Amino acid sequence: MVKKPESTIDESWMTTYSDMVTLLLCFFVLMLAASSPDVARYEQIRSGMNESLGNKSINKPIEMMVVELTEDIQSMNAEEGISLGTDTRGVVIEFTDAVLFDYGSAELKKEALPALKRLAATLKSERYNNFNFSIEGHTSDDKFSNPQFPSNWELSSARASSVASFLEERGIPRVRLKVTGMYDISPKYPNHDPFGEPIPQNRRKNRRVVIHVEPHFN
């Protein structure tokens, strides 16, 4: 009696199916990243996808910038006056006003220049040519006026302009620089407690200069 050959199931289609599912997953991940424009997260997703596809030469400029700037700040023991992070726009460098300016002044302190020079040297590197700089001057709601600056609007704008001018002097083209005076409209901390009393330490923290380092895509 001839033995009937066993039937086999062709599962080769599963390879194509799994590839299709993977591509769909990548597509929806990219759509999610595009709907919430967090450029730092987008860089992580893109690099992760490239790694999964076997691409070993992956460019991570935001991650590289954060590492380099962190080393700069730590080497100068400037962590108390300069903080670093990322947000949906890119890299964020924040200076307390006391590090850069005397009270009521928009002239950069001489003591601040070495730190600014060090950071500017990193930021103007050719590898970061695709980044722009949005510089914001912030004050508290504490009323201020002098003959040079009638209000905090002028003071916050002048302080941001001083930092932008310094970066331009250190080699960053002004077409990549933008200045904004923010007064007290974007405080990090409440200027007053629930009873309406001023909180002096919060007011000090709210007086700051923030540099948003944002990638731009051609």
CA angle 47/79/127 to nearest 5° reads 35
pLDDT at 45: 47
Instruction: Tell me how far apart the alpha carbons of residues 14 and 16 are, in angstroms, rounded to a whole number.
Output: 5
Do 81 and 95 touch, CB atoms closer than 8 A? yes
Report field, pTM of the whole predicted structure over 0.85: no
Do 93 and 119 touch, CB atoms closer than 8 A? yes
* Residue 210, beta-bridge partner list: 94, 136
Average pLDDT of the residues in 4-16 = 60
Average pLDDT of the residues in 16-41 = 62
Tokens of 40: 């730092």
Between 34 and 192, name the one with better pLDDT.
192
Residue 196 pLDDT level (bands cut at 50, 70, 90): very high
Alpha helix (H) residue ranges in 145-194 = 152-169
Residue 20 pLDDT level (bands cut at 50, 70, 90): confident
* Nearest residue to 163 via CA among 195, 202, 132, 133: 133
- Is residue 206 scored above 80 in pLDDT? yes
Average pLDDT of the residues in 64-79 = 95
Please tell me whether residue 83 adopts helix, strand or coil conformation: strand
Query: With b meaning 16 or more CB within 10 Å and e meaning fewer, what string describes 112-140?
Result: beebbebbbeebbeeebeebbbbbbbbbb
Residue the block writes with tokens 């080769």: 12
Q: Which CATH superfamily groups domain 61-215?
A: OmpA-like domain (3.30.1330.60)
- Is residue 182 scored above 70 in pLDDT? yes
Q: What is the 3-state secondary structure (H, E, C) of 5-36?
A: CCCCCCCCHHHHHHHHHHHHHHHHHHHHHHHC
The contacts of residue 62 (CB under 8 Å, 6+ apart) are 39, 40, 43, 86, 90, 91, 215
Residue 91 pLDDT level (bands cut at 50, 70, 90): very high
CB atoms within 10 A of CB 184: 17
Instruction: Tell me how far apart the alpha carbons of residues 166 and 116 are, in angstroms, rounded to a whole number.
Output: 8
Domain ranges of the chain: 13-52, 61-215
- Is residue 158 scored above 60 in pLDDT? yes
The contacts of residue 181 (CB under 8 Å, 6+ apart) are 136, 137, 153, 154, 155, 156, 157, 158, 159, 160
Instruction: Tell me how far apart the alpha carbons of residues 22 and 93 are, in angstroms, rounded to a whole number.
Output: 37
Between 16 and 38, name the one with better pLDDT.
16
Rounded percentage of the chain residues whose pLDDT exceeds 90: 70
